[in-house]
Amino acid sequence: MEQEQEALRLSQLSAIVAEVFQIHFSEARFWVTAEIIGLKQSRGHCYLQVAEKDESGTTPKAEFRANIWAGQYQRISQRFFRMTGSPLREQIQVLMLVEVKYHERYGLSLIVHDIDPAFTLGHLEREKRQTTDRLRKEGVYDLNRSLQLPCSLQRIALISAEDSRGYEDFMNRLHTNPYGFSFDVVLYNALLQGDLAASSMVNQVEAILEAHRREPFDALAIVRGGGAASGMECFNQYVLAETLARMPIPVITGIGHHADNSVCDEIAHTVRMTPTDVANFLIEQQTFFDGTLVSYWDQVCDIARITLNDERAFIQQAAQSLVSGIRLSGTRAARSLDHAAFRLKHTTQQQVLVQGSAVEDLHQRLAREARLVTQLESAALQEGNSRLQSASSACLLAGEETLKHLEACVHLLDPAQVLRRGYSYTVFNGKTVTSFSEVHSGDTITTVLRDGTVESIIQ
């Protein structure tokens, strides 16, 4: 019976608790740090669930309801968005000026009077710096930037959101490039913001690595449309940045934020502002590569023409030398015969005068000697002529082989052959286009392909 007299109704106990809070917390305000783990809006008011988590980041050590009444919420939210570029949302750390309230029916809660945006930005910056320091310490910070960029970037692994404006801008720019370049882009769809974004992108990077082993990619591009600075948190996480830093192919980022770079931007091989900028970079690289090929082709053609002309001149000179040599040898042989005949005649006359009685014998002997000398000289002349003909034939055959080889090389470098291997070139006013600056809006250009031409108008 005494227990029944001493018992309190629940409302009485609640009133006592409210009175204690009124005595100790009346008009008192505190700056409190916490993470927003729940948020909803109703009739202009904002209702938060805030918590302090343990070191593992999973289990709350303390948790409260917090209310921002409509009269304060518009001012607080507008100021927070203006300074951070992000609305108040879940999964961010905040510094709040709160008042502790206890209501007999609704229990304990916090009334939020202000939120300091600078604290949220500072927290994000600290996490970013910690990730960067860890990557440097592990020696992976500069790994991707040290890779050699391929001359031609045509097979691209792309991490983006298929339904995002950034992906649409990127693909439209590649497909409408004025040079008619063809790019093989393989999309790996992933979340680009939120708590699951980092793990989503890491999973796709692993899939890209597996595909790269089967058919290599030239580069990995990550594109994302613009967004709030706080939405960049996933790109500052260690697990994603470390995975990208170790990629064996260059990483190109265009995640669309103008304020500052994320950690993923810092470790990437090439950084561009927007998805369109990344597409322009790929087009520029391909334009440079195409111009280099055209320049090399022109040099090869020039060298081939010079070599052919030199070889033709050499063969002509060799032929002339052979003809001159044959003529000179014939002239010398004729002179030798004339001289021998003259000597024989002179000797005969002397012998006739001196040996009058033996003229007939001498004449016969001299005739035999004359025939012998003539045969010997004729044999020597024929042998010389045979050697000259053999040398001439060998030289001409060598020259013909050289010409055939050079003609085969020129045939391999023929533009038609290059076109059959998948390349094309663009002509404007009869000249090959090697730079975007050579054409202007409204110009009609002709793209030469293996089996025909395509005319395009520059927009």
The answer on pLDDT for 332 being more than 60 is: yes
Contact 422, 290 (CB under 8 A): no
As a whole number of angstroms, the distance between CA 190 and CA 179 comes to 30
Looking at residue 206, its pLDDT comes to 96
Counting residues of the chain whose pLDDT is more than 70, the rounded percentage is 93
- For residue 352, name the pLDDT band (cuts at 50, 70, 90): low
Query: What count of residues does the chain have?
Result: 459
The answer on pLDDT for 454 being more than 70 is: yes
The answer on pLDDT for 1 being more than 50 is: no
Q: What would the mean pLDDT of 364-381 be, rounded to a whole number?
A: 79
The H or E element spanning position 372 is helix 359-412
Q: What would the mean pLDDT of 96-103 be, rounded to a whole number?
A: 88
Q: What would the mean pLDDT of 245-262 be, rounded to a whole number?
A: 83
Higher local confidence (pLDDT), 455 or 167: 167
Among 180-184, 245-249, 340-344, 428-432, the range scoring the smallest mean pLDDT is 340-344
CATH 3.40.50.720, applies to 9-115: no
Looking at residue 356, its pLDDT comes to 65
The H or E element spanning position 440 is none
Among 70-74, 149-153, 307-311, the range scoring the smallest mean pLDDT is 307-311
Looking at residue 221, its pLDDT comes to 97
Backbone angles phi, psi at 430, to 5 degrees: 80, 0
Backbone angles phi, psi at 260, to 5 degrees: -160, 170
Pick the CATH number of 126-273 from 3.40.50, 1.10.3720, 3.90.79, 2.60.40: 3.40.50
Tell which residue, 248, 281, 244, has the closest CA to residue 262. 244
Q: In terms of C-beta density within 10 A (0-12 exposed, 13-18 middle, 19 or more buried), how is residue 455 classed?
A: exposed
Average pLDDT of the chain, as a whole number? 84
What are the C-alpha distances in Å from 226 to residues 165, 169, 259, 409?
A: 9, 12, 11, 52
- For residue 143, name the pLDDT band (cuts at 50, 70, 90): very high
| Contact partners, residue 394, CB within 8 Å, separation at least 6 | none
pLDDT digit string, tens, across residues 36-77: 989 999 999 999 999 998 877 678 889 999 999 998 999 999
Higher local confidence (pLDDT), 348 or 171: 171
